[in-house]
A and B are shown apart, each in its own frame.
Chain A
Amino acid sequence: DAKTTQPPSMDCAEGRAANLPCNHSTISGNEYVYWYRQIHSQGPQYIIHGLKNNETNEMASLIITEDRKSSTLILPHATLRDTAVYYCIVGSTGANSKLTFGKGITLSVRP
């Protein structure tokens, strides 16, 4: 599976958009980009995934560059409850594939 690179931490103000970057320059053609987050003392939670096109769901938007070497997870209106570690993962499709987690990015939402 391709490796991902994320900054270790970032913060944003409550109510503002949080833009979380991820680099995955070695991604291969059949690999998806997944985002999970882990709130303190809980198991990781799926947020969104994408292959080539931008995706949006009730939690977030995922913007993937045209060359697929990087992506950005956007939380449009961050709340204090969005404070968590966010993991960008690249891998083949299907839940039967293992998830290769890095250290993730710690997002702190300040009041």
Chain B
Amino acid sequence: ETGVTQSPTHLIKTRGQQVTLRCSSQSGHNTVSWYQQALGQGPQFIFQYYREEENGRGNFPPRFSGLQFPNYSSELNVNALELDDSALYLCASSFSGGIEAFFGQGTRLTVV
């Protein structure tokens, strides 16, 4: 149990729709990172938020966007869903200057 909670746990969407995934970070953590994990692959970095600002982005198109709120919780939004967006989406919280990232259980998104 890491104290990082993600919702929903599972989600099915239709191609072209939009989706919002949510993450509550561990108490005291001011940084949230999002990762996409396709079946059989390692997680791939999408972006990171630190004190409500984007603080680094991986190789993902602009239709992947995010927010971080004053309480450091975060949202990942994906517009114009494609079949290849089907994956496990992981949120990790951490404290700036810390070493360890704490991951949530993930949201399993299926696009049909």
Contact = CB atoms under 8 A, between A and B. Distances in A.
A93 B45 contact: no
Bin the interface of chain A by size: 20 to 34
A13 interface: no
Contacts of B90: 43-44
Contacts of B98: 94-95
A43 B105 contact: yes
A94 B101 contact: no
A30 interface: no
Given A95-B95, A95-B97, A100 B45 contact: yes
B48 interface: yes
Contacts of B97: 94-96
Given A43-B90, A43-B104, A43-B105, A94 B96 contact: yes
Contacts, number: 70
A98 B56 contact: yes
Interface string A58-99: 000000000000000000000000000101000001111011
A25 interface: no
Interface of B, secondary structure class, is loop
A21 B56 CA distance: 30
A103 interface: yes
Interface string B29-49: 001010100001111110010
Contacts of B58: 98
Contacts of A42: 105-106
A46 B94 CA distance: 12
A48 to B, nearest CB: 10
A46 B43 contact: no
A93 B40 CA distance: 27
A96 B33 CA distance: 8
Q: Select the residue from A41, A87, A98 with max chain B CB neighbours within 10 A.
A: A98
Contacts of A54: none
B72 interface: no
Interface of A: 32, 34, 41-46, 49, 85, 87, 93-96, 98-104
17 contacts: A41-B105, A43-B2, A45-B103, A46-B101, A46-B102, A49-B99, A85-B42, A94-B98, A94-B99, A95-B31, A95-B99, A96-B50, A96-B55, A98-B33, A101-B43, A101-B44, A103-B40
